[in-house]
Structure 1
Amino acid sequence: MPASAAARAHADDLADFVAASPSSFHAAAEVARRLEDAGFTSLVEAEAWSLAAGGRYVVVRDGAVIAWVVPRAADARTGIHVFGAHSDSPALKLKPKPTTGRFGWLQAGVEIYGGPLLNSWLDRELRLAGRLVLDDGSAVLTATGPLLRLPQLAIHLDREANDHLALNKQTQTQPVWGLGDAASADLLGELAAAAGIDAARIRGYDIVTADAARGAVFGKDDVFFASGRLDDLASVHAGVTALVAAPSDTAHIPMLAVFDHEEVGSATRSGAAGPFLSDVIERVQRGLGADRDEQLRALAASWCVSSDVGHSVHPNYPDKHDPVVQPVLGSGPILKINANQRYATDAAGAAAWHGWCEAAGVVSQEFVSNNAVPCGSTIGPITATRLGIRTVDVGIPILSMHSARELAGTADLVALTRAAEAFFSS
């Protein structure tokens, strides 16, 4: 079915969002910017919070961000509907002393962040982006334009490259970014210049690579959307778009929780295994006058929709998928199920998800892994374990997961957003 005008417009806005979010820190800042433009009030964790009925709030912790709406009739026992996602993606990350090179080439010293498809980063223009921490303890965001490239060895010098390609993660993944003598070059200086600050002030940095190409709709009838960082900015974009549209008269608190470091296990202060979400929920509940018993009652009345990408059936590798349950791009968001609780979905969660999709006029697909292929996991089980909130794992089907540039169905992007809107407003 051809992509609708609404789906194409939504995908174009997602392309803008991804372009503005080359790192987790930029993604958190872009979420906050969009919400502030929509009337949300920014809060600071180190300051006292004064929450008002009908108020809309957002708070950033490093590369994570949480935002919520306080319904006009909220009280101490009001439950919460959390739409969860993550801001990080597999990438190359700058090491200490990142300016390297030899034979007249300038190179960047990097290590592998998460589990990228390394061959997809070859022969592609890359940006550097992240945060710089300065001598006064302040942090600034920085992002370059196209600066680096990881050039593949020519076929003439590796006649078996099409038969097997295995990159040495230490010696064959160091991108080039210029020509000259490394002793007189300064990669951090490039990042400082992009941020408009003096490089001598840099005391620390968290900098990753990102695909420099803009996301694009393509294919017959515009059914495909390709972009870097769809895992998991597609879900983040759906969540922030839905939260902007959330009404102030719901029976629960609509909340968006975007975590960092999902790709490396989530066990950080800004990851799903850390205290960020529980800290915010407790402060919101205390602001509503809740005692401990009322807090627990509110959590028992709450839901978390953990949204992350899943695998579409691949036409060239059908044996890697379940032979019966085969979600495909363009046929709707997915409900992710795993018998060993790698996903948090159970029967109650499945029923609730299908109800929200029905309310949104959205058709959902199921996803399970092939029994012979290990199943990944998400922030869903972590959130359910930490808070005891009923949780369901969902997302959109994609191909090329963990590639520098992933492939989604244009229609699925707006469908996920509609389902998130129903989750917030139902």
Structure 2
Amino acid sequence: MSDLAAIRAHADDLADFVAASPSSVHAAAEVARRLIDAGFTALDEADAWPIEPGTRHLVVRDGAVIAWVVPGRADAATAFRIFGAHSDSPAFKLKPKPTTGRYGWLQAGVEIYGGPLLNSWLDRELRLAGRLVLDDGTERLAATGPLLRLPQLAIHLDREANDHLALHKQNQTQPVWGLGDAASADLLAEVAAAADVDPARIRGYDLVTADAARGVVFGKDDAFFASGRLDDLASVHAGVVALAAAGTDAEHIAMLAVFDHEEVGSGTRTGAAGPFLADVIERVQLGLGASREQQLRALAGSWCVSSDVGHSVHPNYPEKHDPVVQPVLGSGPILKINANQRYATDAAGAAAWNGWCEAAGVVSQEFISNNAVPCGSTIGPITATRLGIRTVDVGIPILSMHSARELAGTSDLLALTRVAAEFFRTRR
């Protein structure tokens, strides 16, 4: 397969992955499905874990998933190579008593999740997706087809809309989903039908909106890939593909850690600030017979690559970017640097990342923020703080971050995956 064909095939596979992952719980389930197909065995947290050299396992905790490959020569002090990402994206989350409406319209009561670019969600067909918890305690994944829309006010009724458009976060963000009287309608019944369950059995739910349009490759020479939830499913997909191909002949334990709730601070049982990763690492080490000293020795020799998207220089807003360091999508993955430790990258991390890129035959770019524009953060500093593992922050450059539909460079997607595979494979 030519490189252009490989790039296109990889982007098409990412489009399939995003379509199957409209919510964080769907993303975790899709990661598990793909890895099980690749020979991994799913474990239950409540069971004893059979940790042995030469095995491949995963565990799902709600919208988070951690998977790992124990090499054939693993011992109690074997170090880890962890590729970290997150499964959630900015969206709208369904409130209690979600069936609302007025003036003959049926609407959905939603709450803003994370920091979405609100205007980007206007005039798009949206899905509802997530999990339903039933009266017997079981859970069902549910995802509708196109169901909702946030219709924009016509220009004739707001002549200044092109000069300044600001949405009221309560009154003007409630999508429509039908016509009629809210008193005789039931939005949850629509979701229940998609999951083939009786709506009367629903006792709880976590449901969010997602763009219903499929990801697409377009532009001159197929340079662009547009999709919802690239932040951060682009990284999750790269990690899944790389880990699925990882062998058991490495000198370290290759691990993929996909966290939930990054967009709202990571402070949950499935977020990077929670105990999930530390719990899994400890259980793997105990399964290999590690003492406390051997556990600490293993962590001291470990690396975490925290992969999340960053900003490409925007041709219409160049003043928002650093005047010298200006990564552009399509020119390779990025190394993310911040003096105030909003990213975990340091000199050792930069050197390691550049070495992995060189070994993978991939050109990397640096990203740094304009001093006058505040910098976001990632799971990287959280993981470094929680575990003391050497951590480097990386990703791909995109435009329209936190939009309902984000824009990436098609070639960057495969390049990131190739570096992730090298990270899992190399001995350096």
TM-score (norm 2): 0.99
SS at match of 1:162: coil
Contact kept? 1:327, 1:365, Cα under 8 Å: yes
Partner in structure 2 of residue 411 of structure 1: 411
Within 2, Cα distance between the matches of 1:212 and 1:171? 23
CA contact (8 A) 1:269 1:275 kept: yes
Deviation at 1:46, TM superposition (A): 0.7
Partner of 2:51: 51
Measured in 2, the distance between the counterparts of 1:382 and 1:165 equals: 35
Give the SS at the match of 1:42: strand
Inter-partner Cα distance in structure 1 for 2:371 and 2:208: 34
1:4 match: secondary structure: helix
Q: Could you say what secondary structure the match of 2:102 adopts?
A: coil
Where does residue 244 of structure 2 map in the other structure?
Answer: 244
| Residue in structure 2 matched with residue 373 of structure 1 by the alignment | 373
- Sequence identity (%): 85
Q: What's the CA shift string for 1:392-414, capped at 9, x where partnerless?
A: 00000000000000000000000
2:163 paired with 1:163: yes
Aligned residues: 425
Summarize the Cα distance change of 1:408–1:3 in structure 2 as closer, same or farther, 3 Å threshold.
farther
Contact 1:3 1:221 in 2 (8 A): no
Q: What is the distance in 1 between the residues matched to 2:203 and 2:126? A: 24
Give the equivalent residue in structure 1 for 2:172: 172
Paired letter, 1:44: D
Q: Which amino acid aligns with 1:239?
A: G
- Post-superposition CA distance 1:259-310 (Å, at most 9, x none): 0000000000000000000000000000000011100000000000000000
CA deviation string 1:362-410 (max 9, x = no partner): 0000000000000000000000000000000000000000000000000
- Counterpart in 2 of 1:214? 214
Q: SS where residue 89 of structure 1 aligns?
A: coil
Q: Give secondary structure in 2 for the equivalent of 1:52.
A: coil
State the Cα distance separating 1:52 from its structure 2 match. Answer: 2.1
AA partner of residue 230 (structure 1): L
Task: Map 1:19-418 onto structure 2 (within 5 A).
Answer: 19-418=19-418
Inter-partner Cα distance in structure 2 for 1:395 and 1:287: 32
Change (3 A) 1:372 1:3: farther
For the pair 1:7 / 2:15, whether they are aligned, the reply is: no
Q: CA deviation at 1:136?
A: 1.0
Distance 2:49 2:80 in 1: 18
Asked if 2 retains the 8 angstrom alpha-carbon contact of 1:132 and 1:206, the reply is yes
TM-score, normalisation: structure 1: 0.99
CA distance in 1, matches of 2:148, 2:198: 22
**Other structure's SS at 1:48 match:** coil
Name the aligned partner's letter for residue 389 of structure 2: I
**Aligned-residue RMSD, C-alpha:** 0.8
Report the AA paired with residue 157 of structure 1.
L
The CA deviation at 1:3 is 7.6
CA distance, structure 2, for counterparts of residue 3 and residue 118 of structure 1: 37
Offset at residue 138 of structure 1 (A): 1.0
Write the letter of the residue equivalent to 2:253. Answer: I
Q: Which amino acid aligns with 1:24?
A: S
Any idea what SS the aligned residue of 2:208 has? strand
AA of the residue aligned to 2:400: S
Q: Distance in 2 between matches of 1:170 and 1:39?
A: 47
Distance 2:162 2:56 in 1: 54
Partner-residue secondary structure (3-state), 1:263:
helix
**Paired residue secondary structure (2:221):** helix
SS at match of 1:131: strand
How far apart are residue 149 of structure 1 and its match?
A: 0.3
Amino acid at match of 2:181: D
Q: How far does the alpha carbon of each residue in 1:111-165 deviate from its partner, in whole angstroms, 9 at most, with x for none?
A: 1000000000000000000000111111110000000000000000000000000
Measure how far apart 1:53 and its partner are: 1.4
| Paired residue secondary structure (2:133) | strand
Q: Is the 8 A contact 1:3 1:222 kept in 2?
A: no
Deviations 1:38-74 (A, max 9, x none): 1100000011111221110010000000000000000
Q: Measure, in 2, the Cα distance between the counterparts of 1:325 and 1:362.
A: 19
What are the ranges of 5 or more consecutive residues in structure 1 without an aligned counterpart?
Answer: none
**Are the aligned partners of 1:80 and 1:298 in contact in 2 as well (CA < 8 Å)?**
yes
Q: How far apart are the structure 2 equivalents of 1:299 and 1:20?
A: 34
Cα deviation for residue 247 of structure 1 reads 1.2
Hey, which bits of structure 1, 4+ residues long, moved more than 6 A?
none
Structure 2: tracts of 5 or more residues without a match: none
Q: Output the CA distance in 2 between the equivalents of 1:425 and 1:194.
A: 41
Equivalent pair of 1:105/1:176 in contact (CA under 8 Å): yes
2 CA distance for matches of 1:12 and 1:393?
26
Tell me the SS of whatever aligns to 1:366: strand
CA distance in 2, matches of 1:3, 1:163: 44
SS of residue paired to 2:57: strand
Equivalent-residue separation in structure 1 for 2:99 and 2:41 (angstroms): 40
CA contact (8 A) 1:83 1:305 kept: yes
* Counterpart code for 2:183: A
Paired letter, 2:421: E
Checking the alignment, whether the CA contact within 8 Å between 1:100 and 1:107 is kept in structure 2 is yes
1:43 and 1:58 in contact (8 A); partners too? yes
